[in-house]
Structure 1
Amino acid sequence: MMDENGILFVLSGPSGVGKGTVRKKLFERADDLAYSISMTTRERRAGEQDGVDYFYKTHEQFEKLIADNELLEHARFVNNYYGTPRKYVEDTLAAGKDIFLEIEVQGAMQVKENFPKGVFIFLFPPSLEELKDRIMSRATESPDAVLKRLKEARSEIEMMDAYDYVVVNDDVERAVTKIQSIIQSEHCRRERIAKQYKKLLEDG
């Protein structure tokens, strides 16, 4: 027996820890997860579809959504807004579908404040040295930028206590298996299915 509503799972962790890689591998394995589609004010690129790649909004529309508390989180990058629409998440969950959100730590803390019943998973690097190697292997940032990212990573790791689970990403396949176990375990939580069992007893 499954609970009627889906569950929001939030994967977060410092930059360079491999969130995107783990999320992609998870979706290769799991076909019963919905991916949280973000909302943005940036121009649609060739081949992108509204409601598939992003939900596209004007700046005015986006700012009204912020004012109306219709976003679980939002941020601004290079003069464009990005955020997670509350209605899409809630409608997906109400349809009985789990939804998965991969996001930076600051955004995850916004989601936790606005949607505390989500399940928050912190992806942890095997070591700070390996995290440094991963960031440097991108070869897209200056040494100063790498040091800044590492400093940010240290402060983000200190926020780990705000999460429900911690998964060490020392091996992508192993990390994905652990996240799948978390998803299964959350569906077995007593409080998620107690209502249905009580209804069975009432009907009997």
Structure 2
Amino acid sequence: MCFLQPPLLRHSILRKTSIAIRFPRPCSRNLNTGIFAKIVNMSPIPPTTNPIIISGPSGVGKGTLYSRLLANHPSLFTTSISHTTRAPRPGEQRDVDYYYVSMEEFEAMIAAGDFVEHAKFGGNRYGTSRKMIEQKRGEGKIVVLDIEMEGVKQIHALTPPFPARYVFISPPSTADLSPYQVLEKRLRGRGTEKEESIQKRLEQAKLELEYSKTEGVHDKIIVNDDLEVAYKELEDYIFGKGGKAGDEKEAGVSVQD
């Protein structure tokens, strides 16, 4: 008798998703009976596994685009897991939310060149390690980083150069308002922050918008005037001409005896 075994899903970032169907010998002898399988690959495949670095001023919507990309393609993309010197908060898990290390350990990692970027917030240190990025790559995932301008500068300054894809999210301009003024209007429209906080964000935004004009810093600049349009532009860039989001491709099927 012929009993088919459960299919094995094989996914490769560099190739199309394939399914291996195990045919026991009684079945494999009768493959000329017209039995066939057509597997449809619903996931687009990026042309490179290099990490994607998304940056932009506060209030521009980069966090929304970042979260949407991860939610729509969980099998391809993943967040980075940072090293930090702060203590775990209730509900956080070691090596899942963060890698928790001492200040001495963190400083030693900086000295050893283990981080591609690191920063200090609220008296605590945070850093993105090369090892983590390579580990995720080995798991078949592309790391997506949501970082600030200083982090982008650090990564660009690495020697040898660190291969990555840089995307900057910019506010739009109008006939009456510059990108900076549009951003200010958005921040004030939230009604959730004090004036001091708004001013700090605007000062940083001015620096980031100016830095984005530097030639060669970013591979892609996306103007977020309409979220749907901006997200499509982000996907189109990430997946390239060879596999834009939404495409359906026929995947390979291998038969195992």
Alignment TM-score, normalising by the size of structure 1 = 0.82
1:69 is paired with a residue whose SS is coil
1:53 is paired with a residue whose SS is coil
The aligned counterpart of 1:155 is 207
RMSD: 2.2
**Structure 1 position 167, deviation (Å):** 0.7
The separation in 1 between residues aligned to 2:201 and 2:13, in whole angstroms, is: 41
Task: Give unmatched runs, 5+ long, in structure 1.
Answer: 189-204
The separation in 2 between residues aligned to 1:48 and 1:139, in whole angstroms, is: 30
Alpha carbons 1:39, 1:56 under 8 Å: kept: yes
Identity of aligned residues (%): 37
Q: Does 1:178 align with 2:229?
A: no
The aligned counterpart of 2:120 is 76
The separation in 1 between residues aligned to 2:226 and 2:95, in whole angstroms, is: 33
Alpha carbons 1:6, 1:94 under 8 Å: kept: no
The aligned counterpart of 2:175 is none
Q: Deviation digits for residues 92-136 of structure 1, max 9, x if unmatched?
A: 224442111111111122122235310000000112222112222
2:64 is paired with a residue whose SS is helix
**Structure 1 position 138, deviation (Å):** 4.2
The separation in 2 between residues aligned to 1:35 and 1:144, in whole angstroms, is: 31
Q: Which moved more, 1:32-41 or 1:143-152?
A: 143-152
Residues 138/55 of structure 1: CA separation in 2 closer, same or farther (3 Å cut): farther
Which of 71, 76, 88 does residue 44 from structure 1 map onto? Answer: 88
2:143 is paired with a residue whose SS is strand
Greater Cα radius of gyration, structure 1 or 2: 2
Residues 74/184 of structure 1: CA separation in 2 closer, same or farther (3 Å cut): same
Q: How does 1:38-187 map to 2 (within 5 A)?
A: 38-114=82-158, 115-126=161-172, 127-160=179-212, 161=214, 162-185=217-240
Name whichever structure is richer in helix by fraction. Answer: 1
The separation in 2 between residues aligned to 1:148 and 1:12, in whole angstroms, is: 17
Task: Give unmatched runs, 5+ long, in structure 2.
Answer: 1-11, 16-47, 173-178, 244-257
The separation in 2 between residues aligned to 1:155 and 1:131, in whole angstroms, is: 13
Residues 187/61 of structure 1: CA separation in 2 closer, same or farther (3 Å cut): farther
Alignment TM-score, normalising by the size of structure 2 = 0.66
The separation in 1 between residues aligned to 2:49 and 2:241, in whole angstroms, is: 10
Amino acid at match of 2:52: F
Alpha carbons 1:36, 1:84 under 8 Å: kept: yes
Alpha carbons 2:53, 2:144 under 8 Å: kept: yes
Amino acid at match of 1:113: A
Alpha carbons 2:13, 2:141 under 8 Å: kept: no
Residues 43/2 of structure 1: CA separation in 2 closer, same or farther (3 Å cut): closer
Residues 183/131 of structure 1: CA separation in 2 closer, same or farther (3 Å cut): same
Residues 53/186 of structure 1: CA separation in 2 closer, same or farther (3 Å cut): farther
Q: Deviation digits for residues 39-60 of structure 1, max 9, x if unmatched?
A: 1111101111112211111111
